[in-house]
Amino acid sequence: MRRSPTVAWLLMTPALLWIVGITIFPIAVAIGFSFTESAFGLGRMAWVGAANYLSALQSPDFWSAVGTSMIWLVGNLALQLSLPMVVALFLNRAFFGRDIARTIVLTPWIIPAIVAAIMWRWIMEPTVGVLNRVMGPVLHGPVQFLGDTRLALASIIGINTWRFAPFGIVLMLASLQTIPLEYYEAARIDGSSAFQEFRYVTFPMVGRIVWFVGLLGSVWVFNIVDLIWLLTQGGPGVATQTLPVLVYRTAFKTFRLGYASSMAVMSGLFLAIFGVVYFVFLQPKTDEAT
């Protein structure tokens, strides 16, 4: 029986309306706002053309936020692609309590951002925090992990890695379990070392998962606002003020919606270009994943 295209479109309509309502329409509104400005984001929107974009490109705060965003992105990805792989390799081995360990490792992923932020603020508190108490003899005094411009960004990168790592661990562990044991047995017969097994057997088989985690991680990490805002609000100074945090501060603290929208649009364009480059140049080759 031949199916009517009309029925197919009717079945897809709810999903299409949902996509338009939560994705396409807000993007269109943001682009429209980026060419306007109004007093405190209220009242009549005045058309200013490309003035908001030019103002952002000439602003030292904008370029400082871009630089901080790059450090934030690279630092997170370096940890969130390597640490999950190490933990997944460990959890893929047989040892007593492995199932319990696999369950515990998911805990950071299910903790809400507000809970994680409050918990880590107390852990890193300079006077009564557990981290300073434990490491006090080594650190020679209390350390302002979130209050020092030299440590704040690195500290938040560590906290965000703690939260994001379980996602990568689960995906990489699932991929590791699909590798036939015969491959490792053949490698051992050939006299391969543990490093050679990882390089020539393990990594080529999980390469696409690492690529996938890197792609999702890049988008998620770059757009994070809640954790940074709850921990430092972009401070001390502008040490942890990434571009999304600057957009949030501009839109909802100074109420310059047009100016904030222009920076948000440029941020979206950057992610789109990054995605294209990532797909074209970093996608694993077919023969490496088979």
Contact status, residue 249 vs residue 27, Cβ threshold 8 Å: no
Can you give the pLDDT at residue 55?
A: 93
Q: pLDDT-based confidence at 41, cuts 50/70/90?
A: low
Torsions phi, psi for 47 (to 5 deg): -75, 125
- Is pLDDT of 289 > 70? no
For residue 5, being part of any structural domain is answered with no
Q: List the beta bridge partners of residue 46.
A: 37
For residue 14, being part of any structural domain is answered with no
- Is pLDDT of 226 > 70? yes
For residue 152, being part of any structural domain is answered with yes
For residue 160, being part of any structural domain is answered with yes
What global pTM score does this model have? 0.87
For residue 22, being part of any structural domain is answered with no
pLDDT tens, residue by residue, 111-141: 999 999 999 999 998 888 888 888 777 777 7
* DSSP calls for 91-158: HTS--TTHHHHHHHTTHHHHS-HHHHHHHHHHHT-TTT-HHHHHHHHHHTS---TTT-TTTHHHHHHH
For residue 83, being part of any structural domain is answered with yes
For residue 3, being part of any structural domain is answered with no
Instruction: Identify the CATH number of the domain in which residue 62 sits.
Output: 1.10.3720.10
pLDDT tens, residue by residue, 7-22: 778 888 888 888 888 8
Number of domains in the chain: 1
> Residue 180 and residue 150: Cα distance in Å, rounded?
46
Q: How many CB atoms lie within 10 A of CB 44?
A: 7
Q: pLDDT-based confidence at 166, cuts 50/70/90?
A: very high
- Is pLDDT of 290 > 50? no
For residue 232, being part of any structural domain is answered with yes
Q: Helices (DSSP H) in 177-202: which residue ranges?
A: 181-189, 194-197
Domain range for 45:
34-288
Torsion of CA 204, 206, 211, 213, to 10 degrees: -160
% the chain with pLDDT above 70: 95
